[in-house]
């Protein structure tokens, strides 16, 4: 269900904190059944990716805020993974209702989908728990968006694709968190998606070729 103003206002950070604190670190039974319904079961690659990205995230976090806060980094990531599994399940449930299909093999074996969804979940946790705990360390590195994109080596345009579905799928987001994701969205649309290595340019080219119209839009280099 789309986010209604009342629901967003009613939700408090405590709600999401309580939900994440009691959530499991592993995929739920429901989520496992979605994995089992896939032509190619994605579970192993999902678990492997969560582990690999976790190592990188904790390393970069400790580098950014100091080894003394390394434990905070692993806590943030842990909660991010819980949110990632929770939102994935909710997304699949609504897609199942919308499309009345049960086999999401292609989507669930898509590395970019998972990396984007995980990045969004970790970004929400980072924004939720804020920076006050490690604010005192003059780390110089700003961990707010788009820091997570560099850590996960993720293109902004791919991150952008999950934002709206994430907001729809996670009913416990607060107004501030939705506003935060919306600011990320705008920053991507206004600048980050137009950087020269963005996948956007290939997509524009492909759609132009499909339309068969003259390709006047693309400049050789993005300005």
Partner 1 sequence: GQDYHFGLEEGEGIRELFDCD
Q: Would you tell me which residues interact with partner 1 (CB under 8 A)?
A: 2-3, 5, 8, 91, 94-95, 98-99, 104, 106-107, 110, 112-113, 161-162, 164-165, 167-168, 178-179, 181-182
* CA–CA dist 192, 186 (Å, integer): 9
User: Which residues, in sequence order, are CB contacts of 77 under 8 Å at separation 6+?
Assistant: 54, 57, 58, 61, 122
Rounded to a whole number of angstroms, the minimum distance from the CB of residue 80 to partner 1 is: 19
Rounded to a whole number of angstroms, the minimum distance from the CB of residue 167 to partner 1 is: 6
* CA–CA dist 94, 107 (Å, integer): 14
Question: Would you tell me how many other CB atoms lie within 10 Å of the CB of residue 17?
Answer: 15
**Both structure tokens of 181:** 């994701």
Nearer to partner 1, 64 or 87 (CB): 87
Rounded to a whole number of angstroms, the minimum distance from the CB of residue 114 to partner 1 is: 10
* CA–CA dist 13, 129 (Å, integer): 9
Nearer to partner 1, 65 or 181 (CB): 181
Rounded to a whole number of angstroms, the minimum distance from the CB of residue 175 to partner 1 is: 8
**Both structure tokens of 67:** 């080894």
Nearer to partner 1, 17 or 112 (CB): 112
Nearer to partner 1, 167 or 188 (CB): 167
């Amino acid at each position: 269900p789309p986010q209604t103003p009342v629901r967003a206002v009613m939700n408090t950070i405590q709600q999401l904190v309580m939900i994440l604190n009691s959530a499991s670190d592993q995929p739920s039974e429901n989520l496992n059944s979605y994995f089992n319904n896939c032509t190619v079961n994605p579970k192993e690659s999902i678990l492997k990716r969560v582990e690999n990205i976790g190592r990188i995230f904790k390393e970069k976090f400790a580098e950014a805020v100091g080894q003394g806060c390394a434990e905070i980094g692993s806590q943030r990531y842990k909660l991010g993974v819980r949110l990632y599994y929770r939102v994935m399940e909710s997304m699949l449930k609504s897609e199942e209702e919308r499309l009345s299909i049960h086999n999401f093999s292609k989507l669930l074996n898509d590395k970019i989908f998972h990396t984007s969804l995980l990045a969004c979940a970790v970004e929400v946790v980072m924004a939720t728990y804020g920076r006050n705990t490690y604010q005192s360390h003059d780390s110089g590195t700003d961990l707010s968006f788009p820091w997570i994109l560099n850590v996960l080596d993720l293109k902004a345009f791919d991150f952008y694709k999950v934002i709206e579905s994430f907001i729809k799928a996670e009913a416990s987001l607060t107004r501030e968190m939705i506003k935060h994701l919306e600011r990320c969205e705008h920053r991507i649309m206004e600048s980050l998606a137009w950087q020269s290595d963005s996948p956007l340019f290939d997509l524009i080219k492909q759609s132009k070729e499909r339309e068969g119209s003259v390709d006047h839009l693309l400049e050789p280099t993005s300005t």
